[in-house]
Structure 1
Amino acid sequence: MQLKKLFIHCGRQLIVFLLLGITLNGLAQVDTLSDAEKQDSILKVAATQKFNQELKRSNHPGLSDSTSLLTLINLSAIKKAPFISVQQYLKGNAAGLYVNEESGEPGTEQFMHIRGLNMPIFNKQDLIAQQPAVFVNGVPLVQQSALTYNIQRYDFNSIGSGTNVLAALDVNNIEKIEVLKTPSDLAVLGPIASNGAIWITTKNAQSGFRKINVDTYFGILKRPSVYSINSQYENEFRDRYYQKYATLDQIQNKPLYVANTLDPNFYGPSDWTDTYYKAKPVHYIGVGLLGGMDRANFMFNISKTKDQNFDATSLNRYNIVFGINMLPAKWLTISGNVNATRMDRDRNRSLRDRFAETRFVPDLANPLAPNVDAYNRFLRKYEGSVDDNINNSFFGSFNARAKFNRLELNTRLAADYEESLRDVFYGKALMDNNNFGSVYTGFNQRFTIMNTIKYSLPLNNNAQEIRLEAGQSYVSDFIKYDYVVAYNTPNDFIKIKETYLSGDGRNFLNRNDIFGYPFTDKTKTNLSSLYGRIGYSFKKLLDLDFVGRYDGYSNFSEYARWLFTPVASARFNVHELVKSEVLSTMVLKGSWGQFGNLLADNRFKIGPQYRVDLGYSDEPTLGSYAGLAGLSQPYSFGWVNEYYNWPFSVRTNIGTEIGLYQNRILFGLDYYNNKNKNLVVPTSMPAENGFSYKYVQGMTVQNSGLNFTLNAEIIKRQKDFGWNLFGNFSWNKNKLLQLPYGLNSLVFGNKKIEVGKPVDAYWVYENKGIINNESEIPKGKLNLNGTYDPLTFSGLINFSPGDALWADNNNDGTIDENDKVLKGNALPVYTGGLGSNLTYKRFTLDFQFYMAFGHKLLNRQTSGKLDFINNENSRDISYIKEVTFWQKTFDYNDYPLYNPWSSTIPYRLDQDLFLENASYVKLRALTLGYDCSSIPYFSRAKFNKALIYVTASNLFTISSFSGGDPEQVDYMGYYNGRSLPIPKSFIIGLKLDF
């Protein structure tokens, strides 16, 4: 605590020192300057631009003083496409980065992985814990929180607005984006960037003549091609099974919506797509202004974005950005920027998502009808409902930089506030004569202070140089939410729970006996860090750097709160020795380092604990009907030990950069080997303890692979023609190296991990076909008298004709979980992207491809449709039939005709029958533009740029997967077929600079 206070005090003193220097020096300069001198101020435009370049370079965290172009994202095509989130800006544009866009619904959460999985993913919290840090102008944005998942039974969406917080950044306000992944790049960023970092630099204020830019586009989505079906198709599909396997009772119990061929809603036209897939417009308008003098200049931008998709989903985003630079002295610059965003989201009308929110699954004997009139009648039941989802975002920073010859001082203050609001009310017509309301208010806020001091010492007539640097940072996070769910208001006009004071003034009473359940939680974390760096350069030939960090994190116990981690880096510029007209750059580089990994959950620092965990059997987070609270051990969460220390990673990177013909062709190749050690993992424990598992440290996961990046100016722009090509390719392989207690494997839920195998492998039965008759039933357990019993499932169920045949891998005569194997990868083994920028006179043509190979998906959608007998009357929310149930998604002739009434569940999901190739190639964007600035009207108006362009997005996908878009899998690699498609869109846009 004393050390923390000392850091804050030092930061305050540094700020006071800088501000005092601003005041005294600035006043002295202004008072002594004549009017002429003020007009021709200290820093000319060219000097200011040079100064800004130095500032950008000094703000970059990499250990090498020269930032490689190979980490930069090419934004030329992205800025002319209707993408709205950082994840979409990056997808396919960076080596080693994989972006999963599960749904095309505007504003939904999207997730990234840099250089593979650092740990197995058992739940959504594990996924969120592996997201890279995002820095804007050197300041880390607050991370997405997994706090609300503690009270959720389902993790399809987070409680609250569920909006992607990284959709708050407008790409037209971004100057450049870099993806940082090597130990050298991440050394000074420390544990907050242990999963890698996205480094974003926004547009900077500039001096000179006033500049105005206008960006706008308008477009429309293309309706997807859907093969819609009705109950006649469903009846024909099911009749094959009824005719071969069904008894008379089973035939008589055929669902009514299939059996009643006279029902026009189910046997009439299947035209629900006319309402569900209505084409929607998208648009954007943004206006920016740059201006000011050399000594003080500013940047201002305001924009409005509307993104839409089908099922009446949309996102409205409103951005205001303001930046300012002040140069009161030659040695001092002050800058600040503010980004404020509001996002309003209209969510989908998915039954599954609604029931997950309400914790209520009604009678689902009859699904939604495929007839458009029947579907519209259902949608009218939403009238009077409320589903408001609002995000307010504000982040800003203040920077001060003082440079005295070779001494440089930097201080940075930043605040980030992300607010999520959700207000819901569903009327009785939607809730089986009940109704539901909920209110959610939550926020994530982060305060950051950073101070650095740098000094360079030249030696031997500048042939050598020693670089010294020290830094301090303090990051404080505060996360809180309040959430109330309520049921059974008197009518659909009363949408809130009302309380009043009793007559004696002692008690609050519930006026209408509305059942209400409040939830609230908060967590605070603090990360305090110190680092020192020493670097050595020999001429322009060799760079050596060493960084030592000392980090303290409040989410660890006081006995293991601090961690020291080193990083070493070397860079050898071979091209300085080899003078060649062809070879302009040849670099050999390597870096090694250790990084602490943060635990976002503060329960691990507390030790054994109790909580309120006495509720309904299928809704443990809701209190009992009697409303009697009690404390119990957290059996549903697992046992927490007394002591946990830092998980950490050991990272190695070896690479090369080669540039030809003055770097017109520049490519880089990196090999990396990352080991994440001392990870926390749930392990089994004796059942008599009441817990099914406990959290133990000692797991190690390895990621190794290659990253290749290419930037090529194939034809250098001369007069009329130019062609730039940029691409990337990555290979990643992960492997589990170690488990606690010397275990070789462990099972958690429906997932198994095993030493020596990938942590994202699927745990499945190996399908060997179908049992057609009694003679094909394999031998089972060997008896003492030498005879064999028939093969059984789980030792209890005998196999019969019509059952699926699975491999008995341990040869014990029983098919059970011991026979399941690990197969495939949920994340791609190979990823890449290819883009191009072609110019001819004033025409431009851009395209961007995105590709992923070597991974599998588990097709839950097809499994669920084939297993219709078990799922027909199931209350399992995973098998709820949406209106999208009425579309053909697979050819049932491609699958064996199993007996769906069998107790072995032959169409179960956990078998390799449904494990399918998920590889794909996508054309993400294709743009044709023309610069009209030379046309007389525009030239007379003195437009520097007047670009008119047309962009087509997500034009096609090449894949062997016929069930839909293989990219749209959930974080476990399951394809549910429930997500809104990533739409094809066509826009026409205009970019004006004047």
Structure 2
Amino acid sequence: MKKKLINQRSTRLLYGCLLAFTSFCVTSYASSPLELQQTQQPITGTVTDAQGVVPGVTVLVKDKASGTLTDENGKFSIVATANDVLVFSYMGYKTVEITVANQTAIYLQLEEDTTQLKEVVLNAGYYSVKDRERTGSISRITAKDIETQPVTNVLATMQGRMAGVSITQTSGVPGSGFDIQIRGRNSLRADGNNPLYIVDGMPLGTESLGNSSFLSGLILPGSGVNSLSILNPADIESIEVLKDADATAIYGSRGANGVVLITTKKAKSGKTTLILNSFSGVGSISRRLDLMNTEQYLNMRRQAFANDGITTYPASAHDINGNWDENRYTDWQKELIGNTSLHRQVDASLSVGNEFTNLLLKVTNYNETSVFHGDFEYGKTAFQFSGNHQSSNKKLNMGLSIQYVIDKNDLPGTDLTLDAINLAPNAPALYDAEGNLNWENSTFVNPLRKIKEEYLAKSNFFNAGGTISYALLPNLELKTMAGFSSTRLNETKISPSTIYNPAFGLDSSVSILLQNEGYQQSWSLEPQMHWKKDFGKSALSVLVGSTFQERNFGSRAIEAMGFTSNSLIYNMAAAANIAIYNNDNSIYRYNAVFGRVNYNLHEKYIINLTGRRDGSSRFGPGKQFANFGAIGAAWLFGKERLIRERLSVVSFGKLRASYGSTGSDQIGNYQFLDTFSSTGIPYQGSIGLEPTRLFNPDFSWEINKKFETAIDLGLWNDRIFITTAYFRNRSSNQLVGIPLPGTTGFTSILSNFPAEVENSGIELEWHSKNIETINFSWSSSFNVTFPKNELISFPDLERSTYANQYVVGEPLNIRLVYHYTGMNPETGFYEFEDYNNDGFIRPGDDRKKHIDLTPSYFGGLQNSLRYKKWHFDFLFQFTKQLAPNFNTYKSMPGLAVNQSVDVMTGTQPYSAGFNSQATSAYTFYRTSDAAFTDASFIRLKNIALSYAFQTRNGWGCKVYMQGQNVLTFTNYKGLDPENYSGSKIPPLRVFTLGTQLTF
């Protein structure tokens, strides 16, 4: 609750300034002589609340045109007569009236009015709406939630805090990306489920600029090198997520998978304020595998050879044939990924302004080292500017927001996590006596060779969004939103000859330089008209607008090799051979008209109509335009007399519902055209072309029809607020690759397919003010989502190439696996169900067991406690799910690969690879239901403890401690239950200490 009040103070302060100025003018120039002759006296005082002084409180003399507002210390001064009544008002607090009488000093503590919190205004994109009057589903977090988290990605701040929003971190590497799904997976295509991101009104392109197919094996490409991962979380004021049709249909095709509205911090009226903030901390991997020690490992290896009937160890078995020290032990998880990363951030912001013009300038610098063995670093420097201006007659309003971020990521060429869990515990030292990489007489493949493959990603992000509006008539406002965005990436990877064993005798002629350049640049223009009119007990508002957008996207990948010296490896001109793998440029154009009509009767019955006609360059002639729309309705039944009189415990009640359609054009550019690419083979002096895509002008938009019904309930003066929602989304007209006969020369053609996917579920949100006293308060927030995903229909699925991927009636996120039935009592090897009873285990016939990886439920529990000047916040994130365990990425027990201690019991006989029956059984085992396990977890995601006070000279000071990924409670058999990948480093556990000064 308090966070909303804080956000409202700046607005009330501006209004208070305007009111005080107006009152001064009226008092000075319009007061009658009789009024001036009355006996007046100066009244001073201080206004506080349960947490301290309250600046910006409006203090008025009732029924008179005079007033003031409290300053930054909560103090006020006003002139009044003994018979006057002073009125103290502030958004979110109960209004208080005090008769002056013979008082000359008034000290007042305001009480929070929880019913006013529903007056909080939410950003719905093209319009704003009061929380109590919204008909759509909107979730929100603010800067207070964001600033308690030492993270570098905007999406990380949202984890566990929003119902219906599932966010998964893909890796613990700094700068890595996140996967987000808003109310489930709608499209069969993995790249067709991304939501629309809008930063200060500017649509943000989230295409990955990294060339994952070219720079294969790298940590970052394909996992989130885009504008969103570069954006600075410290610059964010609020994030709103639009989920249902009523909230998203006004965005048409772009809102099929939800909309994420990101609002950056803006300048606020008031005195000039300088804020300096700095924190530093440490990070480490949050989970480790319990691996075998040297004795356990060697016993496994010896038993494996014995089981295979091998009595003499082969020359390649260096771990047990005497080449390596059998008494040596190295904890490779500690050695390769066990470093302590250092985190540091410094930021400063300066805000100046008055009742007409406000400016904000903010600078942030962030640095983070790596947990990998070696000297690696990630850095981000962000500049932010915002300004707004209002004319003296309040008719003209202008705003501008600019963000510029420079991002630099210096990483090893490959994640060392897999090496850390696979290396034999008695493997040799990494360096020899001279400090060079140790190859142990050519018996050891040193994992640090990968560190010599240096990877560097440099990117910059620029985003500017501006608005200008003019009140042409009292009820008519013309508004234009414009924006420009640019993201550029330059990534390089070198593979010098030094990554190879010197015994091979290779020189710099085999050294390779890989370079990728990617960019995304877009602009948007949206003229709008807003009209609203009150008709006594009803109100009508109308919005009409249009969108013009263009986005340019390009990349170029180059490979250079044959250098005369490794010292020249970054100089492409020094290479003997240069090959350009791709040089792509594309343009996406989008145009739309949209509208909204909102009708409010008696402030109890609300209907909201939204519509949009979209045009996209991604479809062929005749298919480029489509219509989308939605209807939303709300009934504020808490205002009915029967509820007020008979159920006084109900302080607020609203029943709302919505239905509508949105679409999707997330298929990439030029997919409907027949395209060609270079063969790379010269013929008669020219390079030939070959067809790569067939022409298909008939495919068009995916359609997503959304339905939701929900109830919002406030109890006991809103001390408890509950929202329960049921949603059902159906996505059809799927854009997928349709298989073609081999005689066509193509395996498939992109086309619409009548497959239908349904996402449904229940969302529950709970907010409560548990305790509220002068010295102590405790509030809680809880959210949980029960999702269900189902493939409703897929004609001729059995005969398609998707037969081994999807099943009608099952979720999209399933795995078709073998059913493990146990170990053969005679041989001891794994056995599996023979579904067709033909005596053999075959991939097509017997891989029939369905494993659903869709979470059964997920959510979060947040608590905020205050004791005097101490504040303590913590968030638990939880998920109930199944996931692949370490068996899916670990080699067969008995090979020269370290194993989890779990394989010491309950496993088939070890094999060194010389028993084909054992190898075959384990191959099936890795892709059976035995390789999946419960990956449910409860994670103490975030903690924040702070102490705020004022110095003797009036400076504000806050000292704080923060933690991220603090504790994880799980029975998962693997590195991390969140991303369940054995080849990627798990999310880091980070602790920081910081100080914030306000002048």
**TM-score normalised per structure 2:** 0.79
**Residue identity in the other structure for 1:730:** T
Residue 187 of structure 1 deviates from its aligned partner by 2.3
Which among 736, 756, 776 is matched to residue 721 of structure 1? 776
> Are 1:560 and 2:574 matched, yes or no?
no
- Partner of 1:73, secondary structure, is strand
**Residue identity in the other structure for 1:610:** F
- Partner of 1:556, secondary structure, is coil
Residue 70 of structure 1 deviates from its aligned partner by 6.5
> Are 1:918 and 2:935 matched, yes or no?
yes
Cα distance in 2 for partners of 1:658, 1:376 equals 68
Tell me what 2:865 maps to. Answer: 838
Which runs of structure 2 are paired with 1:216-231 in the superposition (5 Å)?
Answer: 216-222=278-284
Which among 986, 990, 993 is matched to residue 985 of structure 1? 990
- Unaligned runs of 5+ residues in structure 1 are 1-32, 38-42, 121-125, 356-363, 500-510, 615-622, 774-800, 873-884, 970-974
Which among 958, 966, 978 is matched to residue 947 of structure 1? 958
Which runs of structure 2 are paired with 1:524-539 in the superposition (5 Å)?
Answer: 524-539=587-602
Residue 729 of structure 1 deviates from its aligned partner by 0.3
- Partner of 1:600, secondary structure, is coil
Tell me what 2:412 maps to. Answer: 348
Residue 148 of structure 1 deviates from its aligned partner by 4.1
Cα distance in 2 for partners of 1:80, 1:733 equals 32
- Given that 1:676 and 1:702 are in contact with CA atoms closer than 8 Å, whether structure 2 keeps it comes out as yes
Which among 897, 903, 906 is matched to residue 909 of structure 2? 897
Tell me what 2:541 maps to. Answer: 467
- Partner of 1:256, secondary structure, is coil
Tell me what 1:429 maps to. Answer: 498
Residue 232 of structure 1 deviates from its aligned partner by 5.2
Residue 554 of structure 1 deviates from its aligned partner by 0.2
- Partner of 1:836, secondary structure, is strand
Moved more, 465-474 or 270-279: 270-279
Residue 400 of structure 1 deviates from its aligned partner by 0.5
Which among 332, 337, 342 is matched to residue 401 of structure 2? 337
| Higher strand proportion (structure 1 or 2) | 2
Residue 256 of structure 1 deviates from its aligned partner by 2.8
Cα distance in 2 for partners of 1:383, 1:269 equals 19
**Residue identity in the other structure for 1:907:** Y
Which among 150, 162, 181 is matched to residue 94 of structure 1? 162
- Partner of 1:390, secondary structure, is strand
Tell me what 1:165 maps to. Answer: 227
- Given that 1:174 and 1:200 are in contact with CA atoms closer than 8 Å, whether structure 2 keeps it comes out as yes
In structure 2, relative to structure 1, the CA distance for the partners of 1:897 and 1:61 (3 Å cut) is farther
Residues 942-980 of structure 1 show CA distances to partners (whole Å, capped at 9, x for unaligned) of 12x4221222322211111132211123xxxxx3x2222
Identity %: 20
Tell me what 1:768 maps to. Answer: 821
- Partner of 2:228, secondary structure, is helix
In structure 2, relative to structure 1, the CA distance for the partners of 1:764 and 1:859 (3 Å cut) is same
Residues 691-725 of structure 1 show CA distances to partners (whole Å, capped at 9, x for unaligned) of 34443422211101011112211123x31011110
Residue 803 of structure 1 deviates from its aligned partner by 4.3
- Given that 1:161 and 1:421 are in contact with CA atoms closer than 8 Å, whether structure 2 keeps it comes out as no
- Partner of 1:192, secondary structure, is helix
Cα distance in 2 for partners of 1:369, 1:669 equals 56
Which among 544, 551, 554 is matched to residue 480 of structure 1? 554
Residues 367-424 of structure 1 show CA distances to partners (whole Å, capped at 9, x for unaligned) of 9946354697258767986532111000011111222321122111101111111123
In structure 2, relative to structure 1, the CA distance for the partners of 1:216 and 1:625 (3 Å cut) is farther
- Partner of 1:905, secondary structure, is helix
In structure 2, relative to structure 1, the CA distance for the partners of 1:366 and 1:626 (3 Å cut) is farther
Moved more, 267-276 or 838-847: 267-276
- Given that 2:874 and 2:943 are in contact with CA atoms closer than 8 Å, whether structure 1 keeps it comes out as yes
- Partner of 1:753, secondary structure, is coil
- Partner of 2:282, secondary structure, is strand
- Partner of 1:185, secondary structure, is helix
Which among 358, 362, 370 is matched to residue 309 of structure 1? 370
Tell me what 2:668 maps to. Answer: 601
Cα distance in 1 for partners of 2:269, 2:247 equals 31
Tell me what 1:207 maps to. Answer: 269
In structure 2, relative to structure 1, the CA distance for the partners of 1:519 and 1:426 (3 Å cut) is same
Residues 546-574 of structure 1 show CA distances to partners (whole Å, capped at 9, x for unaligned) of 22211000000012000011211111110
**Residue identity in the other structure for 2:937:** Y
Which runs of structure 2 are paired with 1:294-693 in the superposition (5 Å)?
Answer: 294-311=355-372, 312-328=375-391, 329-350=393-414, 369=427, 371-373=429-431, 377=437, 386-403=454-471, 404-431=473-500, 433=506, 434-459=510-535, 462-496=536-570, 513-577=576-640, 578-579=643-644, 581-606=648-673, 608-612=674-678, 629-634=687-692, 641-693=696-748
Which among 167, 189, 201 is matched to residue 251 of structure 2? 189
- Given that 1:541 and 1:576 are in contact with CA atoms closer than 8 Å, whether structure 2 keeps it comes out as yes
In structure 2, relative to structure 1, the CA distance for the partners of 1:417 and 1:868 (3 Å cut) is farther
**Residue identity in the other structure for 1:681:** V
Residue 266 of structure 1 deviates from its aligned partner by 9.0
In structure 2, relative to structure 1, the CA distance for the partners of 1:351 and 1:656 (3 Å cut) is closer
- Given that 1:570 and 1:591 are in contact with CA atoms closer than 8 Å, whether structure 2 keeps it comes out as yes
Residues 251-288 of structure 1 show CA distances to partners (whole Å, capped at 9, x for unaligned) of 64473332333424994544672464121221111111
- Partner of 1:76, secondary structure, is helix
**Residue identity in the other structure for 2:659:** W
The count of residues paired between Structure 1 and Structure 2 equals 857
Residue 245 of structure 1 deviates from its aligned partner by 3.0
CA RMSD of aligned residues (A): 3.6
Tell me what 2:971 maps to. Answer: 960
Moved more, 76-85 or 583-592: 76-85
Cα distance in 1 for partners of 2:219, 2:892 equals 26
Cα distance in 2 for partners of 1:376, 1:926 equals 43
Tell me what 2:49 maps to. Answer: none
Which runs of structure 2 are paired with 1:106-145 in the superposition (5 Å)?
Answer: 106-120=174-188, 126-145=189-208
- Given that 1:760 and 1:827 are in contact with CA atoms closer than 8 Å, whether structure 2 keeps it comes out as yes
Which runs of structure 2 are paired with 1:218-297 in the superposition (5 Å)?
Answer: 218-222=280-284, 233-247=296-310, 252-253=313-314, 255-264=316-325, 267-270=328-331, 273-274=334-335, 276-297=337-358
Which among 923, 929, 939 is matched to residue 946 of structure 2? 929
Residues 786-840 of structure 1 show CA distances to partners (whole Å, capped at 9, x for unaligned) of xxxxxxxxxxxxxxx4543211113344321221124232232311000111001
**Residue identity in the other structure for 2:172:** G
Cα distance in 1 for partners of 2:667, 2:883 equals 29
Cα distance in 1 for partners of 2:783, 2:163 equals 5
- Partner of 2:280, secondary structure, is strand
**TM-score normalised per structure 1:** 0.79
Tell me what 1:852 maps to. Answer: 879
Residues 568-593 of structure 1 show CA distances to partners (whole Å, capped at 9, x for unaligned) of 11111101113254312111101111
Which among 806, 813, 826 is matched to residue 753 of structure 1? 806
Which among 689, 692, 705 is matched to residue 761 of structure 2? 705
- Given that 1:302 and 1:320 are in contact with CA atoms closer than 8 Å, whether structure 2 keeps it comes out as yes
**Residue identity in the other structure for 2:850:** K
Residue 133 of structure 1 deviates from its aligned partner by 1.6
Residue 181 of structure 1 deviates from its aligned partner by 0.4
- Given that 1:59 and 1:138 are in contact with CA atoms closer than 8 Å, whether structure 2 keeps it comes out as no
Tell me what 1:4 maps to. Answer: none
- Partner of 2:959, secondary structure, is strand
Residue 624 of structure 1 deviates from its aligned partner by 10
Residue 137 of structure 1 deviates from its aligned partner by 2.2
Moved more, 220-229 or 958-967: 220-229
Residue 436 of structure 1 deviates from its aligned partner by 1.0
In structure 2, relative to structure 1, the CA distance for the partners of 1:555 and 1:145 (3 Å cut) is farther
Residue 164 of structure 1 deviates from its aligned partner by 5.2
Residues 209-253 of structure 1 show CA distances to partners (whole Å, capped at 9, x for unaligned) of 1112222211112466665656654332233332223456xx644
